């Protein structure tokens, strides 16, 4: 699925709560920036996660993630977190994510994330409904 449209971008500001005593983003804080971007990417496709749980009985969860830290983000930085679909399967999908600082193309952090679809009642993997597969892939190829 590489080579598709431009990635989805979600802006975020670094706040005091995101940093350590030196004003540098704490390593786990980057995961929150990525999570918010993935949530907004789905929302932009018309996929609300609360509705999926309540109406369809499914949730999306992070199955695995590989994170590469390149440079530090700092207090008050305006960041851009991108999301780009890299693969789509019947019960999971993967995205590549990159975090940059506004006005700078240097990569701060990058991640490859696999998201699994789970049945809320059994808490077991299940197929992503066809209508969601279509929405997830829309504008991606």
Query: Within a 10 A sphere around the Cβ of 2, how many other Cβ atoms?
Result: 8
More confident residue, 140 or 96: 96
Using CA atoms, how far residue 110 sits from 13, 91, 106, in Å, is 17, 24, 11
**20 carries an active-site annotation:** yes
Q: What's the CA gap between 45 and 132, in Å, rounded?
A: 9
Please check the confidence at residue 131 and state whether its pLDDT lies above 60: yes
Q: In whole angstroms, how far apart are CA 79 and each of 55, 62, 113?
A: 34, 22, 19
122 backbone φψ class: left, alpha, beta (φ>0; ψ -120 to 50)? alpha
Least confident among 31-35, 37-41, 136-140: 136-140
Give Rg (Cα) of the chain: 16
CATH of 8-137, one of 3.10.20.30, 3.40.50.720, 3.10.129.10, 3.40.50.1000: 3.10.129.10
Extract the tokens encoding 100.
Answer: 């940059």
The catalytic residue among 20, 64, 76, 104 is 20
Q: Give the model confidence (pLDDT) of 92-122 as tens digits.
A: 999 999 999 988 889 999 999 999 999 999 9
Nearest to 136 by CA among 32, 33, 58: 58
pLDDT at 5 over 80: no
Structural domain spans, the chain:
8-137
Q: What is the pTM of this model?
A: 0.91
CB atoms within 10 A of CB 8: 21
CA–CA distance, 111 with 104 (Å, rounded to integer): 18
């Amino acid at each position: 699925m590489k080579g598709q449209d431009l990635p989805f971008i979600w802006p975020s500001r670094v706040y005091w709560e995101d940093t350590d005593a030196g004003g540098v983003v704490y390593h786990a804080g980057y995961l929150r920036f990525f999570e918010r971007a993935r949530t907004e990417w789905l929302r932009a496709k018309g996929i609300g996660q609360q509705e999926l749980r309540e109406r369809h009985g499914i949730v999306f969860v992070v199955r695995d993630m590989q994170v590469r830290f390149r440079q530090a983000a700092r207090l008050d930085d305006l960041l851009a977190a991108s999301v780009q679909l890299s693969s789509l399967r019947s019960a999971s999908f993967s995205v590549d994510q990159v975090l940059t600082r506004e006005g700078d193309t240097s990569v701060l952090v990058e991640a490859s994330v696999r998201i699994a679809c789970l049945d809320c009642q059994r808490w077991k993997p299940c197929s992503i409904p066809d209508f969601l597969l279509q929405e997830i892939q829309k504008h991606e190829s």
